[in-house]
Amino acid sequence: INPVFTDATPVSSVTPEQQFLDDILVGLSAEQKFIPAKYFYDEIGSDLFEAITRQPEYYPTRTEIGILDASGPDIASLLPSRANLVEFGSGSTVKVRRLLVHLTDLAAYVPVDVSENFLRSEAETLSRDFPQLSIQPVAADFTRPFTLPDGLSDGAVAGFFPGSTIGNFEPPQAAHLLAHFGRVLGPGASLIVGVDLVKDKTVLDAAYDDAAGVTARFNLNLLDRINRELGADFDRSAFAHRAYFAPEASRIEMHLVSLRAQDVSLADRRFSFAGGETIHTENSYKYTIDGFRALAAQAGWKVAKSWTDAERLFSVHALTR
Ligand code: AVJ
């Protein structure tokens, strides 16, 4: 299975390496230093994220899977027959498999991901387990305009955006992204979205600072990655992981804290850190069910149905246009 390259994304003249360097230089030059969260996911970072999802404190993944298993028949009945399912940022196929067992008359599954190799290998294993399903991967950045493959059935199109990835965007950007999904999917589309919920601060803090230190390694891997790929000289032992729920913004913030005053060199530049100064590495917004429904409405979607677990830890929403 070869991924289709979307032609709607303009060919950019900067290489991914150049873009990575530019983004890090911009982030380290800011008053509050920051690194875009998308850079967590090199090969080591992706493995560490998988390990995070197995930590007892990290409830989102297993809770969302439980909701998908329970609501699967309901979701299947909401989708029109012979629908095409488009997953934004498909990554591993663990979650969509839980839906696919219920969506037995799906016309095609369209995984969309920037990582072409991963996309191809995941599509191949999936096609072994669902031999009747037409799988049509698209190698694209889902935040940018792209076109769906030619030759999808005339059936309606449904989007799938699990994992509370929506929480990594500032709420106005999250609304823009939901509206963008509506344009990509077209008129009459549905969208199934997984959204993490606001809850007790101690539960949230623990989920992003597990006792085994896996999330800490995930966060610190950013510095190793910058050293490896861009030739910087970060001393990772001089930084510490910090993650906490900030209730005013309703978000988890992750930072790397400089444990002493120090300088770091990168591309002939030096960046100074005061002791205690931080690099902001991630935001993970948490919504109430009504708060997320309002955001979806703002982006032009109607909320068909919302599901949660018994402890109200996580939510899944079916939206329609
Ligand atoms: C799956 C990207 C939404 O915010 O919970 C997990 C990433 N960061 N632990 C999340 C993450 C630290 C995760 N997302």
**Predicted local confidence at residue 155, as pLDDT:** 77
CA–CA separation, 303 and 294 (whole Å): 9
Is there an atom of ligand 1 within 6 Å of 209 CB? no
* CB-based contact 145:172 (threshold 8 Å): no
Question: What is the 284 CA–ligand 1 centroid distance (Å)?
Answer: 7
pLDDT of residue 252: 98
Residue 282 CB less than 6 A away from ligand 1: yes
201-209: average pLDDT:
98
pLDDT at 11: 56
CA neighbor of 188 nearest in space, from 160, 161, 157, 159 = 157
pLDDT at 114 over 90: no
Mean pLDDT taken over the chain: 94
Q: How far apart are CA 267 and CA 25, in angstroms?
A: 9
Return the ligand 1 atom nearest residue 165 CA: 3
pLDDT at 6: 60
pTM: 0.93
Atom in ligand 1 nearest the alpha carbon of residue 164: 3
Predicted pLDDT at 270: 98
| The pLDDT value given to residue 179 | 98
pLDDT digits (tens, 9 = 90+) for 233-286: 999 999 999 999 999 999 999 999 999 999 999 999 999 999 999 999 999 999
Name all contacts of 88-92 with Cβ < 8 Å and 24+ positions apart: 88/112, 88/142, 88/159, 88/160, 88/161, 88/165, 88/181, 89/113, 89/142, 89/161, 89/163, 89/165, 90/119, 90/122, 90/137, 91/46, 91/115, 91/118, 91/122, 91/163, 92/50, 92/122
Could you tell me if the ipTM is greater than 0.95? yes
Reported as a single tens digit per residue, the pLDDT across 17-57 is 999 999 999 999 999 999 999 999 998 999 999 999 999 99
The lowest-confidence range among 135-144, 208-217, 278-287 is 135-144
Chain segment 121-133, per-residue pLDDT in tens: 999 999 999 999 9
* pLDDT level of residue 5 (50, 70, 90 thresholds): low
Say if residues 162 and 69 touch (Cβ distance below 8 Å). no
Nearest alpha carbon, ligand 1 atom 2: 165
pLDDT of 299 > 60? The answer is: yes
Looking at residue 296, its pLDDT comes to 98
C-alpha 127/C-alpha 232 separation (Å) is 41
* C-alpha–C-alpha distance, residues 190 and 303, integer Å: 10
pLDDT in tens, 187-202: 999 999 999 999 999 9
Q: What pLDDT does residue 90 have?
A: 81
Pocket test of ligand 1: the residue of 92, 168, 203, 280 to mutate, having most ligand atoms within 8 Å of its CB, is 168
Q: How confident is the model at residue 184 (pLDDT cuts 50, 70, 90)?
A: very high
User: Would the CB of 215 count as within 6 Å of ligand 1?
Assistant: yes
* pLDDT band, very low/low/confident/very high, at 81 (cuts 50, 70, 90): confident
Q: pLDDT band at 58, cuts 50/70/90?
A: very high
**Position 12 pLDDT exceeds 80:** no
Q: How many of the other CB atoms lie within 10 Å of CB of 260? A: 11
